[in-house]
């Protein structure tokens, strides 16, 4: 969420910046809402001051034996006026807040123009995309031939866009998650959390999923409790410190969690409906950093390096791109995507987004900072995938496939699994 004073400041160039991401900011309406709130606050202050002065006058005249009936009547009327003004002020505040909640973050001017991945700028590549002397198969054909996927039964259980993995497939999922968590906690210094998969509306609002993306969320409830299934662990991890003031000297905070993630993917039907690429439920290891606002861009580079290390350790060829201003997430001001090579598609596909949200989420969630000398401010928040389990498994199967139908397992996973190869018949061998 934004400070309306910042948006209204011509130096911010909010209209121009938001137009780069396809959002038209109605500055006139914002100014009207802000003026209404300010005027009503001033009206309340003036009325309260008059009420206090009137109370003192009533007390003084009553002591002097004077008739104060008319003054007391004015005091009662003034009290009613104040109550009405306070109600009106709350409505003005709600109107302004609702308007601000719908405004996305301002994209950084370093980002290229454009509104899709076609406009992303390549930053670097790593590894050599594998070549084959046979036509590479996609992960669905590989997994089904190995007997580790069962999409027919997943459809029976829950319908389309769900997956059942069994045997070696389930073992691989578990090993990938364990490897990623150990990498981030033991080498990168993140603190691991076990989190609720259901959160409330304020939590979803704090990180920017609500109100704009409500149609893309799975919602449930018991009695009068409204709850949302988390689309990413970014939501509960960031909101752990909602409405808190953090000691600036304790920053940065680095958190990670492995959770199920739930997304309805509204409007995306027809795209990636086959296999593990775009599911309603998937597992992911998420990274969140809560940092001093002045250091957020440096911290973004640190988080990006942590996400890249995952793929380097797994030996998976990838590239890093800088997203266009019109293609970044609602809460982000700057985003890198990491795209892994998929031989079946002969292209790179997104496996991780790493974003700097500046103070945008912290303002929404009320995450503040305080230095030892009493200086107060807002924290900055960053988030990134490190990594999604399903898409990582897709890349392992496709980049590791062999001509005889087997799949070679990345070396770093072999100690966790106890084997190096999934044979064409679904058995394993060292």
Active site residue 61: no
The pLDDT assigned to 271 comes to: 56
Range of the domain at 178: 117-429
Number of domains in the chain: 2
What does the pLDDT profile of the chain (430 residues) look like in tens digits?
A: 899 999 999 999 999 999 999 999 999 999 999 999 999 999 999 989 888 887 888 888 778 887 878 888 888 888 888 999 999 999 999 999 999 999 999 999 999 999 999 999 999 999 999 999 999 999 999 999 999 999 999 999 999 999 999 999 999 999 999 999 999 999 999 999 999 999 999 999 999 999 999 999 999 988 889 999 999 999 999 999 999 999 999 999 999 999 999 998 765 555 566 899 999 999 999 999 999 999 999 999 999 999 999 999 999 999 999 999 999 999 999 999 999 999 999 999 999 999 999 999 999 999 999 999 999 999 999 999 999 999 999 999 999 999 999 999 999 999 999 999 999 999 999 9
The enclosing domain of 224 has a CATH number of 3.30.930.10
Question: Of 20, 339, 391, 398, which is the active-site residue?
Answer: 391
283 lies in a domain? yes
259 lies in a domain? yes
Tell me the binding residues for ATP. Answer: 263-265, 350-353
111 lies in a domain? no
The pLDDT assigned to 311 comes to: 98
Same structural domain for residues 28 and 74?
Answer: yes
The pLDDT assigned to 59 comes to: 83
Same structural domain for residues 130 and 9?
Answer: no
Question: Of 296, 344, 353, 355, which is the active-site residue?
Answer: 353
The pLDDT assigned to 75 comes to: 81
Question: Of 263, 289, 319, 322, which is the active-site residue?
Answer: 263
Same structural domain for residues 66 and 157?
Answer: no
Tell me the binding residues for L-serine. Answer: 232-234, 263, 286, 383, 385
Same structural domain for residues 321 and 371?
Answer: yes
The pLDDT assigned to 274 comes to: 81
Active site residue 391: yes
253 lies in a domain? yes
Active site residue 263: yes
Same structural domain for residues 333 and 417?
Answer: yes
Q: How many CB atoms lie under 10 A from the CB of residue 236?
A: 25
The pLDDT assigned to 370 comes to: 97
Question: Of 48, 97, 201, 278, which is the active-site residue?
Answer: 278
Tell me the binding residues. Answer: 232-234, 263-265, 286, 350-353, 383, 385
112 lies in a domain? no
Helix (H) or strand (E) holding 318: strand 318-322
Final residue of a domain: which of 72, 101, 130? 101
Question: Of 93, 144, 350, 408, which is the active-site residue?
Answer: 350
Same structural domain for residues 224 and 336?
Answer: yes
Active site residue 363: no
* 108-113: long-range contacts, CB 8 A cutoff, minimum separation 24: 108/325, 108/333, 108/334, 108/356, 109/17, 110/322, 110/334, 111/20, 111/322, 111/323, 111/324, 111/325, 111/328, 111/334, 111/335, 112/322, 112/324, 112/325, 113/20, 113/324, 113/325, 113/326
Active site residue 278: yes
256 lies in a domain? yes
Paired sense of beta strands 191-193 and 253-262, if any: parallel
Residue 334 in contact with residue 355, Cβ under 8 Å? yes
Same structural domain for residues 83 and 187?
Answer: no
């Amino acid at each position: 969420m934004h400070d309306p004073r910042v948006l209204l400041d011509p130096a911010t160039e909010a209209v121009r910046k938001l137009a780069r991401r396809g959002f038209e900011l109605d500055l006139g309406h914002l100014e009207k809402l802000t003026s209404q709130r300010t005027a009503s606050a001033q009206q309340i202050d003036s009325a309260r001051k008059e009420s206090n002065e009137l109370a003192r006058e009533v007390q003084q005249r009553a002591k002097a034996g004077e008739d104060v009936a008319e003054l007391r009547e004015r005091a009662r009327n003034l009290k009613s006026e104040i109550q009405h003004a306070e109600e009106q002020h709350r409505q003005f505040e709600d109107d302004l807040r609702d308007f601000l909640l719908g405004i996305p973050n301002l994209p950084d001017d370093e980002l290229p123009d454009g509104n899709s991945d076609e406009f992303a700028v390549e930053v670097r590549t790593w590894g050599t995309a594998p070549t084959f002397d046979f036509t590479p198969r996609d992960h669905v054909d590989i997994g089904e031939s190995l007997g580790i996927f069962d999409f027919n039964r997943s459809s029976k259980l829950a319908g389309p866009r769900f997956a059942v993995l069994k045997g070696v497939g389930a073992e691989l999922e578990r090993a990938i998650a364990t490897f990623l968590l150990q990498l981030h906690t033991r080498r990168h210094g993140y603190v691991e959390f076990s989190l609720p998969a259901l959160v409330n509306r304020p939590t979803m609002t704090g990180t920017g999923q609500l109100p704009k993306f409500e149609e893309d969320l799975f919602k449930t409830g018991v009695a009068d409790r409204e709850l949302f299934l988390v689309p990413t662990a970014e939501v509960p991890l960031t909101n752990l410190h909602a409405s808190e003031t953090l000691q600036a000297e304790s920053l940065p905070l680095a958190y990670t969690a492995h959770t199920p993630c739930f997304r309805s993917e509204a409007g995306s039907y027809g795209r990636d409906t086959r296999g593990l690429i775009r599911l309603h439920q998937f597992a992911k290891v998420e990274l969140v950093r809560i940092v001093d606002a002045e250091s957020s861009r440096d911290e973004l580079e640190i988080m990006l390096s942590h996400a890249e290390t995952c793929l380097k350790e797994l030996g998976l060829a990838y590239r890093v791109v800088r997203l266009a201003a019109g293609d970044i997430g609602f809460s982000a001001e700057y985003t890198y995507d990491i795209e892994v090579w998929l031989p079946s598609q002969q292209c790179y596909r997104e496996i991780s987004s790493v974003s700097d949200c500046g103070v945008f989420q912290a303002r929404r969630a009320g995450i503040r900072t305080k230095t030892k000398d009493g200086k107060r401010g807002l924290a900055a928040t960053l988030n990134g995938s490190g990594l999604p389990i399903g898409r990582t498994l897709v890349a392992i199967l496709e980049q590791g496939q062999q001509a005889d139908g087997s799949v070679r397992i990345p070396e770093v996973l072999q100690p966790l699994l106890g084997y190096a190869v999934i044979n064409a018949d679904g058995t394993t061998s060292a």
